[in-house]
């Protein structure tokens, strides 16, 4: 049902429509400002590994996007977002599996980490189902709002 490929400029317009609110955009990245623009994606993607889109085989529409980034604590899954019309239809599971495969096979990583905010209960349940385990909490302020960032990791055997 789905294919994947590297992010292309022609994909940006579609990806910008995926976050449906400021909160959803926050889940994608606290660096982004609502509404999402192509320039924001390009600005962040230049420092990322494996920027990847998921395509619906039948319609050839871009339905999801993610990438991987590195900091002093390791490699992280970043900018995960799925089109509203494809949520709950296996696109997110396919996306995360593709990203884990790329992390393991292309980047030769043994572990992949991610951040999920406490208000994203759907995301927390989803990542847990895929084998990501919480290992730490961090308090963050986004404007005047305090969130708890739940740091999760998965061993890539």
* Domain assignment of residue 28, yes or no: yes
* Domain assignment of residue 78, yes or no: yes
Report pLDDT for 51: 98
Query: pLDDT (tens digit, 9 = 90+) per residue, 32-84?
Result: 999 999 999 999 999 999 999 999 999 999 999 999 999 999 999 999 999 99
**How is the chain classified by DSSP, letter by letter?**
-EEEEE--GGGHHHHHTS--SHHHHHHH-TT--SSP-HHHHHHHHTT-EEEEEEEETTT--EEEEEEEEEETTEEEEEEEEE-GGGTTTTHHHHHHHHHHHHHHHTS--SEEEEEEETT-HHHHHHHHHTT-EEEEEEEEEETTEEEEEEEEEEE--
Across all residues in the chain, what is the average pLDDT? 96
Inform me whether the pLDDT recorded for 143 exceeds 90: no
CATH of residue 74's domain is 3.40.630.30
Domain with 87, as residue range(s), is 2-112
* Domain assignment of residue 64, yes or no: yes
């Amino acid at each position: 049902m789905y294919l994947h490929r590297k992010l292309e400029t022609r994909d940006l317009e579609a990806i910008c429509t995926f976050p449906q609110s400021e909160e959803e955009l926050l889940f994608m990245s606290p660096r982004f400002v609502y509404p999402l623009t192509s320039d924001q994606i390009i600005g962040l993607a230049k420092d990322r590994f494996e920027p990847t889109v998921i395509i619906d085989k039948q319609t050839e529409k871009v339905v999801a996007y993610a990438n991987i980034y590195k900091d002093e604590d390791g490699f992280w899954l970043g900018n995960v977002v799925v089109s509203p019309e494809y949520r709950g239809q296996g696109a997110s599971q396919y996306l995360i599996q593709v990203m884990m495969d790329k992390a393991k096979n292309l980047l030769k990583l043994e572990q992949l980490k991610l951040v999920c905010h406490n208000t994203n209960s759907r995301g927390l349940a989803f990542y847990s189902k895929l084998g990501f385990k919480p290992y730490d909490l961090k308090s963050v302020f986004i404007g005047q709002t305090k969130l708890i960032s739940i740091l999760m990791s998965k061993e890539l055997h």
